[in-house]
Amino acid sequence: MRDRIQKEISLYEKLNILSDAAKYDVSCTSSGVERQGDGTGMGNCLKAGICHSFSADGRCISLLKILFTNECIYDCKYCINRASNDVVRTSFTPEEVCTLTMEFYRRNYIEGLFLSSGVLKSPDYTMELIYATLYRLRHVCNFQGYIHVKAIPGADQRLIRLTGYLADRMSVNMELPTAESLRLLAPHKSRKNILEPMRFVQEKMKENRQEITLYRSAPRFVPAGQSTQMIIGATPETDYQILRVTESLYKKFDLKRVFFSAFVPVNEDKALPAIREQGPPLLREHRLYQADWLLRFYHFEADELLDEDNPNFNVLLDPKCCWALKHLETFPVEINRADYHTLLRVPGIGYKSAGRIVKARRMGSIGFEDLKKMGVVLKRALYFITCGGKMMHPVRIDKDYITRNLLNTKERLPEGSDGMTFRQMTLFDDMNLSGVNVK
Amino acid sequence: MRQIYICTDTITGLYSALHDAWKECRDGDAGIEVRGKTQQQLFCEYRTVVECEQKAVRLERMIKRYLGCNAYWDIYHALLSDDGAKGTVVFRAMQESRNIKDSRKIMDHLGNPDVAKVFALSRSVSNEAHMYEEFIRFRELENGILFSEITPKAQILTCVADHFTDRFPIENWMIYDKTHQVFLVHGAREQWRLVWGEALNRKAAGMISEKELKYERLWKVFFESITIKERENPKCQQNHLPLRYREGMPEMFQ
């Protein structure tokens, strides 16, 4: 009924409504695929991806992130477009999406298209519309840029397969880390329903890799892999549970990325937590991303970072520092001798600088000054490393002492570096330790 | 007497200077400075380099052969920066490469201050070039040409040229570097080229096409609505998108 009463909506209005509705999807990467243009159309892809702007909330804008439609038959509690909400409903046509993408891309506004959608009529119907859009974009407009598309859970596998050959990345949102939460907040979605297309895409990708080794010019199926996202803070899961789920997604489903989205309350519902005053749990999201990086690039495992007794991340210290403080017996490490994997575990040394260290020390020994030039964050690293057998300043390998100094990084030199290794205690000095609970 | 070679701030000029310096005093101390940015010092002999294509090609070939293509990439980028000492540090890094066992690994030898400086310069130039790949905005002119005007610190046009050529092969586009007054011009289905010594026709560059304003408006509304109000964080935005890149970006102006 609603769409009959509603008056015709201009493209400007549509873009406003449908990008506003898509903004809670965090994934905005354009990475994972390297593709040169063929010289007859427009666009290429870079392995690292490119961000083209940054919105006022500091998140990158890389893709034209829109919903195809916000008309949805589902009633997920956390979603602004749930069927029971009274919002203006509208849909793009495939032509409109193509024109917008091409014209924005030409002006170097965007890196490609991110097409998600509410479920219009049925999953199959929606998936078909998405496929039609992508087909037009690839074959009529000759667009060779990046396309990220959502696989609609419950859609026909044939449609997902066809769409996969046109897209670079596909994603199905986990939404919530456990099956119970999902039942509670998204009654129309089920764990099985979500994991099914994920598994399907994974298997197709595996098949496709074999095809490509046999026939070099075989069409690529989802070359940039899959991603997913989880909402953080809408349900009572601990960080440990979330991280475990993340790890198993990487291991069992070959996902490229798992995104976390701090829960922003857009609906009033008794099933949702009321956190309007505190704002979204941004710090928690940040810590999870830090841990996610440790899993993907630093050879950490979820069980090393958290455990049943310590199920949540420290508010004040990042996960890597926390791990290092719990394992002080392995420090300090000698920069000129420690292997790459050990270097990766030192706070303040990233994977890039670890690589540079390994290369540079083949030419001669490295000192603290050189480390700084290579991009090592010395204010964090100095408690955990030695160069040529010496530490940078006379510091103690002591948990409380290091914790205090790490929290106090505004101070330039660690306490005691001028030769004073003791400290006057006072009654009213809380040593900055409140809130830190490193076990 | 320390010999100092003076050249223009172009790749041909710097390569010619490096060529002469390498030929005459590769075992001694020499400096390479850019005309207009020199600071006169005592006990130095200044000489202007005769610049020619041939010397540049010869030096390029030499670097590629003895130091490898990766080191060449770093040296090339370092020489595009706006740092006055760039010529001298590259020369010293080349000298240093003779002291190590495998000269092709010179850029790994970050313990050496000159190599570290070349590395730092090359990193900052390629970072800036990458920023411009992200933040350049084209406007469509009445005649269908995509035009963009930028004010970079380093001469990054050649670094972004291949990227945009691959991306927009059948478009006519042009990027104008206001700082160094150079144009990067690409005609449809052609190779790009640099144009020096032309003045920008302000009037022609200001005549934008009819559709241009419409798409700018659409882009702005997208930019507004994609923000999550509850997460607003201008400092984070500015960290990622420094103010000096914003001048050509329509979404940053109301």
pLDDT-derived band at B110 (thresholds 50, 70, 90) equals confident
Minimal Cα distance from B236: which residue of A? Answer: A58
Q: pLDDT above 70 covers what percent of chain B?
A: 100
Q: Are strands A63-67 and A112-116 parallel, antiparallel or unpaired?
A: parallel
pLDDT score for A399:
87
| CA-based max dimension of chain A | 80
Give me the long-range contacts of B246-254 (CB less than 8 A, separation at least 24). Answer: B246/B135, B247/B151, B248/B135, B248/B136, B248/B137, B248/B148, B248/B149, B248/B150, B249/A53, B249/B135, B249/B137, B250/B137, B250/B216, B250/B219, B250/B220, B251/A53, B251/B219, B251/B220, B251/B223
**Element holding A319 (H helix, E strand):** helix A319-326
For A287-357, strand residue ranges (E) read 333-334
**Element holding B150 (H helix, E strand):** strand B146-150
Q: Are strands A146-150 and A169-171 parallel, antiparallel or unpaired?
A: parallel
pLDDT score for A363:
84
For residue B167, list chain A residues with Cβ-Cβ distance below 8 A. 37, 42-44
Per-residue pLDDT of chain A (439 residues; tens, 9 = 90+): 445 556 788 999 999 999 999 998 888 889 999 999 998 999 999 999 999 999 999 999 999 999 999 999 999 888 889 999 999 999 999 999 999 999 999 999 999 999 999 999 999 999 999 999 999 999 999 999 999 999 999 999 999 999 999 999 999 988 898 888 999 898 888 889 899 999 999 999 999 999 999 998 899 999 999 999 999 988 889 999 999 999 999 999 999 999 999 988 888 888 887 666 677 888 999 999 999 999 999 999 999 999 998 899 988 889 999 999 999 999 999 999 999 999 999 999 999 999 999 999 998 889 999 898 888 999 899 999 999 999 988 888 888 888 888 887 654 555 555 555 566 666 665 555 555 555 4
Stated pTM of the model: 0.89
Report the residue of A16, A104, A109 to disrupt the B interface, i.e. the one with the largest count of B CBs within 10 Å.
A109
Do residues A99 and A42 make contact, with C-beta atoms less than 8 angstroms apart?
Answer: no
pLDDT score for A1:
44
Minimal Cα distance from B111: which residue of A? Answer: A370
Do residues A294 and A243 make contact, with C-beta atoms less than 8 angstroms apart?
Answer: no
The residues, any chain, with a CB within 8 Å of residue B47's CB and separated by 6 or more, are B3, B4, B5, B6
| ipTM over the 0.90 cut-off | yes
pLDDT score for A115:
96
The residues, any chain, with a CB within 8 Å of residue A28's CB and separated by 6 or more, are A51, A59, A60, A61, A62, A63, A65, A114
Q: How far is A65 from chain B (nearest CA, A)?
A: 8
A268: its two tokens: 């009033």
Query: Measured between alpha carbons, how far is residue A391 from residues A353, A385, A396 in Å?
Result: 19, 6, 10
pLDDT score for B178:
94
Residue B102 DSSP symbol: -
Closest by Cα among A261, A271, A288 to B228: A261
Q: Tell me how far apart the alpha carbons of residues A239 and A256 are, in angstroms, rounded to a whole number.
A: 20
Q: Tell me how far apart the alpha carbons of residues B100 and B107 are, in angstroms, rounded to a whole number.
A: 11
pLDDT score for A373:
86
A130: its two tokens: 């998405």
| pLDDT tens figures, B164-183 | 999 999 999 999 999 999 99
Neighbours of A386 (CB within 10 A): 18
Minimal Cα distance from A265: which residue of B? Answer: B230
Closest by Cα among A287, A373, A273 to B113: A373
The residues, any chain, with a CB within 8 Å of residue A210's CB and separated by 6 or more, are none
For residue A20, list chain B residues with Cβ-Cβ distance below 8 A. 225-226
- Domains, chain A, with CATH or none: 11-265+280-305 (3.20.20.70), 319-407 (no CATH)
Give the closest of B100, B138, B235 to A107, CB-based: B138
Contact A58 B236 (CB under 8 A): yes
Amino acid, res. A398 = D
Helices A94-106 and B210-225: crossing angle in degrees, nearest 10, is 100
